[in-house]
Amino acid sequence: MTAQATPKRRWMLALPLLIFAALAALFWFRLGADPAKLPSALIGRAAPQTTLSALEGLTDSGAPVPGLDPAAFKGKVSLVNVWASWCVPCHEEAPLLTELGKDKRLQLVGINYKDAPDNARRFLGRYGNPFGIVGVDGNGRAAIEWGVYGVPETFIVGRDGRIAYKMVGGITQENYERVLKVEIDKALQAGS
């Protein structure tokens, strides 16, 4: 008996590696290298009718910041940001969201994802709270209904209550200027 592998046996040993490489290439080219381009089946559909309680103890000028009521989307262009205090990209995008919060044409809605209330309040205290509405998604159920892959994610909801755009990953100056600002302007112009 020889210890040499026959050509057929060598081929069989390499087959799993070839299948893996083919699948990896397929996923790479199908989805592309940019995770922000992940498709969303929710584009064009009504925003999820998920009611979320307010972040306990969060106030704005002495008044409690309300939780999420789906009726809040009707008639307004809303930017919905899913975030958490433990999320590094959320810290990086916070100053841009604070700037966006100054745009009175938009309603900023925050969905706090699987976070401790004290940590969430500290996070908003550190950067300033850009959100007029902050709903708490303590168990992650709302994130599933919104089709969230991971935090942060940002959605634009049009005046008709339908999701117009979804951005996966943190907002940067570059993707804000190149993509998000354009999508916000489209939503503001639609139905005005």
Q: Give residue 23's pLDDT.
A: 75
Pairing of strands 77-83, 106-113: parallel
Higher pLDDT: 45 or 8? It is 45
For 57-95, how does the pLDDT look when each residue is reduced to its tens digit (9 = 90+)? 999 999 999 999 999 999 999 999 999 999 999 999 999
| Residue range 101-129: mean pLDDT, rounded | 97
In this prediction, what percent of the chain has a pLDDT beyond 70?
A: 88
- pLDDT of 34 over the 50 cut: no
- pLDDT of 37 over the 60 cut: no
Pairing of strands 153-157, 77-83: antiparallel
Q: What homologous superfamily does CATH list for 35-189? A: Glutaredoxin (3.40.30.10)
Q: Give residue 181's pLDDT.
A: 96
